[in-house]
Structure 1
Amino acid sequence: MLSGRKYQVEFTLAQAEFAERIGGICRSVWNTGLEQRRVYRERGAFIGYAEQCKQLADAKEDFGWLADAPSHVLQQTLKDLDQAVRTHGTWKVRWRSHRKWPPSFRFPDAKQIIVERIGRKWGRVKLPKFGWVRFRWSRPLGGAARSATIARDGRHWFVSFLVEDGQITPATHPGPAVGIDRGVVVAATTSDGDFHDRPFISGGERQRYRRLQQQLARTRKGGNRRERVVAKLATITRRVRSRRADFNAQLAAQLTRRYGTVVLEDLKTKNMTAGAKGTVERPGSRVAQKSGLNKAILDKGWYGLERAVNNAARYTGSKVIKVPAAYTSQTCSACRAVDAASRESQARFACTSCGHVEHADVNAAKNIKAAGQAVSGRGDLATRRSVKRQPPRPRARQHAASATRGIPVLQGREEAK
């Protein structure tokens, strides 16, 4: 199967400047191609990837700077644009600005990519028009590279390889099932009563980040000092993202190795973290509270954990099921009674019907597990359908069952007539 490997690149000064230049060319090709597609749509016409590639080849005669970038890189940019337009629509695809979009480009031809290990901590890769590029050998490559992507994150450059590792997904996983409840206080709680969480930013980094934000507010837009402050903020943010991704990957690997079925809530994280309407100064407004909730959800990385579990399940054969999240925190896992008053606090659940007392997150995780077992029991993995104990029987089977019970269906109808 295909998997990704990411390494930090050590560019020379000339290579770093060339990478910035190629990133700028790819950004220009993306924006020009998007503008062209929108103009065609306004006229009621259509232009696709093949036609844009032909026009790109002709444009190199008039704009010589396009020839500085490898042809496959520019073609891959147009292919990514075509995929984005087909997925999201022409008018929803965003422009790539110089300040908000970090340089990124892909080499899709595996024949032009040569990877070698030159030491215990170092490796190198040969890329078109770059030559040999050194990178930190932080983990084994594990297979043949299919493509290579160069991207800048803050002050550092990284190379990501798409690798064919030769592994096959197992047919089944014999392990038990588990329900996962994701929260803003504890990142993940299992139905077995395990709590998984860790701080992604230290107290010192939090204070430094706050001071840098204050410095940023006093800088002038477009100034060199503002650029340095933004770079320092990006360094802290990158560390936090790396820790969160590492936590999600380790937890996902642990869950998929231990359990054969992992049940998650079908949470629409993008919709849940949308900004609230109104202003903070408006009486009765809860914009500030909603903003704090959004930050807490994004800090725990709910969607990142879901992606990590799906990725890790490919190697273990575990089944990942998503169930509706409605009333999972208000339902008693013992008697199945639903009452909002049973959730006394964030951590305490006391059923008003049977008196069952348990940690609220563990209780919700057990409800998630039960819903997942009900869905998988009837062989329906759809998350938008109601969870039923048994599938409805076909009409023929219902008549046959009635006849076996001695209910004269036809005879009763004749007597009624």
Structure 2
Amino acid sequence: MTRFRLTPTPAQESALLRQCRHARFVWNLALEQWAMWSRGRRSYPPRYIEQARQLTEARAGNGWLRAGSQTVQQQALRDFDQAVANFFAGTHDRPTWRKAGVHEGFRVVGPQARRVERLSRRLARVLIPKVGWVKFRLSRAAPEAKSYRITLDRAGRWHIVFAVIPDSIRGPGTGEVVGLDRGVAVSAALSTGELMQCPGLRPGEARRLLRLQRRFSRAQRGSNRRARVKADIARLKARAADRRKDWVEQISTALARRFDVIRVEDLRIRQMTRSAKGTVENPGRNVRAKAGLNRGILSQGWGMLVERLE
């Protein structure tokens, strides 16, 4: 995946949000149809062909849905159909509901995904259905891709993600082998003795985040103040996530170029970071300490590092 920062105008941002709402509505409607089905029923839930026909009927009877791009809405149905197939194949989890403010995005596939023009050394633009030409920053060369996804993160930043598989990095060919151990105090320790630390928020940023979280807990639900504080918290967390991703990319690239074989301890991160709250009947113990440990583990980018190495 190759990601670039979109710079839409206010009018384009409104159009993009409308497309996100349409894609989310279609996905959730398809999920509701699928969730109503249970084993033992004679009829099966509708698949993509039938749902696409139903979408055409829905667009004819609803002007707000017809105002959006049919390509985007049909692609949401295709994505859901693929998610169901992946679930039954055992390769992915069960499809879940998409929520406003969390799952903001849509995908464009086919000839429309190739409508990308370079404007300058640092700027390009893409023709998004029902939105128009939207500029994005060229932090690297734009790839030739058959599809892309438009996303909005919780920090309010728009991105375009092209679906391309990056070229593998060749090893040195010397047969060098290294072991990698992951931890909380030290993010990555190599068998060569090298210690690597994943960057996070600086001390001043961490103190500001704590103040914002306290302010957020006191703010009234639905108030403008609460929304502003929530956005400030999201921007700080996005800054930490960006630093973590950048560190993972640099470390994984450097290791792939230095060693032919990289051996990593097999850790089940999902099980390790489960909540310790327990239930009402069986409440957990040391919940606060376990929550802090979970945050420490997730802030080190363990899973992302192994994924990028692979």
What is the TM-score when the length of structure 1 is the normalising length? 0.67
Q: What amino acid sits opposite 1:240 in the alignment?
A: A
| Alpha-carbon distance between aligned partners in 1 of 2:298 and 2:233, rounded to the nearest angstrom | 17
Distance 1:183 1:135 in 2: 37
Aligned mates of 1:13, 1:284 — CA distance in 2: 47
The Cα offsets for residues 347-398 of structure 1, whole Å up to 9 and x where unpaired, read as: xxxxxxxxxxxxxxxxxxxxxxxxxxxxxxxxxxxxxxxxxxxxxxxxxxxx
Which residue identity does 2:75 align to in structure 1? Q
Counterpart for residue 192 of structure 1: 192
Deviation at 1:41, TM superposition (A): 3.0
What aligned pairs does 1:120-199 form with structure 2 within 5 A after superposition? 120-141=121-142, 143-153=143-153, 154-163=155-164, 167=167, 173-199=173-199
Contact 2:186/2:196 (<8 A) preserved? yes
- Cα distance in structure 1, aligned partners of 2:40 and 2:70: 29
1 CA distance for matches of 2:130 and 2:110? 13
Whole-angstrom distance in 2 between the partners of 1:199 and 1:172: 28
Q: Which residue of 2 aligns with 1:377?
A: none
Deviates more, 1:80-89 or 1:22-31: 80-89
State the partner residue of 2:32.
35
In structure 1, C-alpha distance between the alignment counterparts of 2:299 and 2:161, rounded to whole Å: 24
Q: CA deviation at 1:121?
A: 2.2
What percentage of aligned pairs have identical amino acids?
37
Larger radius of gyration: 1
TM-score (norm 2): 0.89
Q: What's the CA shift for 1:216?
A: 0.5
SS of 2:64 mapped into structure 1: helix
**Structure 1 residue 50: Cα displacement:** 2.1
Matches of 1:284 and 1:14 in 2, distance apart? 49
- After superposition, what is the alpha-carbon deviation per residue over 1:170-207, rounded to whole angstroms, capped at 9, x for unaligned? 69944411111000111101111111114311011101
The answer to whether the 8 Å contact 2:2/2:161 transfers is yes
Q: Matches of 2:113 and 2:291 in 1, distance apart?
A: 47
Distance 1:178 1:224 in 2: 52
SS in 1 for 2:36: helix
When residues 284 and 268 of structure 1 are mapped into structure 2, their CA distance, relative to the original with a 3 A threshold, is closer
Residue type of the alignment partner of 1:108:
V
Structure 2 segments unaligned to the other structure (5+ residues): none
Q: CA deviation at 1:278?
A: 4.3
Please tell me the residue identity of whatever aligns with 1:71.
Answer: Q
Deviation at residue 169 of structure 1 after TM alignment: 7.5
Name 1:87's counterpart in structure 2. 86
Q: 1:159 Cα shift?
A: 0.9
Select the structure with the greater relative contact order (CA < 8 A; seq sep ≥ 6).
2
Aligned to 2:217: 217
Q: CA RMSD in A?
A: 2.5
Distance 1:295 1:40, change over 3 A: same
Aligned 8 A contact 1:146 1:164 in 2: no
Residues 196 and 129 of structure 1: is their aligned pair in 2 closer, same or farther, counting only changes over 3 Å?
same
Q: Structure 1: which 5+ residue stretches go unaligned?
A: 311-417
Alpha-carbon offset, residue 91 of structure 1: 9.7
